[in-house]
Amino acid sequence: MTMGRIRRVWTPIEDGGAFRRVAAFTLTVDHRAVDGLEAAKFMHTLASLLEGAEIEQLCNCCAPPAL
């Protein structure tokens, strides 16, 4: 899995629009070991989790504990 840089993209919404943080993710799998449908489900789940999170939450979840 790779992740591209996070960038701000103008996204149209009902009230006009807003800038959102967007990043591209790429998943490569060996189809001898993993079915493409399962890989697609994984990416869909990952996208759903990330779309509902604030960037601060994502950064803090992996931060080392304070000493």
Q: Average pLDDT for consecutive 10-residue bins of the chain (67 residues)?
A: 91 88 91 91 89 66 60
> For the chain, what is the domain count?
1
Q: According to the model, what pLDDT value does residue 28 have?
A: 93
In a domain? residue 38: yes
Helix, strand, or coil (residue 59):
helix
* Model pTM score: 0.62
Q: Is 5 left (phi over 0), alpha (psi -120 to 50) or beta?
A: beta
In a domain? residue 24: yes
In a domain? residue 7: yes
Whole-angstrom Cα distance, residue 18 to residue 14? 10
In a domain? residue 59: no
Q: According to the model, what pLDDT value does residue 20 have?
A: 85
